Amino acid sequence: MTEPILVLDDLCKAYGALKVTNHVSLDVRPGEIHAVIGPNGAGKTTLIGQISGALAPDSGRIRFDGRDVTALPMHARARAGLLRSFQITEILPAFTARENVALALQAREGHSFRFWRNVSRDAALNARADAGLAELGLETRADVRAGTLSHGEKRALELAIAMACGPKLLLLDEPMAGTGREETDRLVEVLRALKGRYAMLLVEHDMSAVFALADRISVLVYGEIVATGTPEEIRDNAKVREAYLGEEAVA
């Protein structure tokens, strides 16, 4: 069996007496989408913070791409290919969609000193940026200022920026948050098209999206993983239905 790209081993994080992640262990395999679901306050965002390097665990270990990264800062993990897509979209609103992706490509290649250069003059760079936008269905929005894009388009642009950084694993923190049904369906299709190319850890409240995309699902309740399995196994798990899914389980 192929070795997992990400392994969490017994992660714990507490704030005083509150155990936000309580001995969490899970893994993500190359090319799969592993979803983490759970009610509000379950510890999902704290878990993503520990994986990305924004938060230090109190104990436990994080291995990424065969390397112990538990003590590495966020920027070092990002350089290694562990990229986070934020719950709140982070883009450069005054720049066009193309410029946002082109600047990410520049930074990846070590040319951050060229940040203030007018990227529109670099035809090769812009061609690569346009190719990245096309993968996310944004080819007709390349010249539009990012701040004027719809919410769903901003989420797609955020993915294009992350992809330009050369990820080995994408941490997707509620990518459907704030999107309408039509934009959610579009993002599901975008992520489905990327499935197999990138490993993804998906934190999401939209159960229709989760069951449409995930290869495996872990259920986090009060900081603990109460079940991990295929969508079918999770859907049929009586304990999970009682603790979280209820009537949200997808038929």
* Angle at alpha carbon of residue 226, lines to 225 and 228, rounded to 5°: 80
Specify the 3-state DSSP secondary structure of 198.
strand
Cβ atoms of 10 and 24 within 8 Å: the answer is yes
Which pLDDT value is given to residue 211?
94
Query: For position 250, what pLDDT does the model report?
Result: 43
Compute the distance between CA of residue 228 and CA of residue 169 in angstroms, rounded to an integer: 19
Phi/psi at 225 (5° precision)? -75, 115
Report the pLDDT value the prediction gives residue 124, as an integer from 0 to 100.
84
Q: How many CB atoms lie within 10 A of CB 206?
A: 20
Other Cβ atoms closer than 10 A to 31: 15
| Owner of token pair 């989408």 | 33
pLDDT score for 165: 83
- What is the C-alpha to C-alpha distance for residues 97 and 133, in angstroms, rounded to an integer? 8
Could you tell me which of 176, 177, 100 has the C-alpha nearest to residue 142?
A: 100
d(CA 71, CA 87): 23
How is residue 204 written in tokens?
Answer: 């999401």
The beta strands (E) that lie in 114-235 are given as 169-173, 199-203, 216-221, 224-229
pLDDT (tens place) for every residue of the chain, 251 residues total? 689 999 999 999 999 999 999 999 999 999 999 999 998 888 999 999 999 999 999 999 999 999 999 999 998 998 899 998 865 567 899 999 999 999 888 877 665 545 545 666 778 888 999 999 998 889 999 999 999 999 889 989 999 998 888 899 999 998 888 888 898 999 999 999 999 999 999 999 899 999 999 999 999 999 999 999 999 999 999 888 876 665 444 43
Looking at residue 213, its pLDDT comes to 97
Domains recognised in the chain with CATH numbers: 1-81+167-251 (3.40.50.300), 92-165 (no CATH)
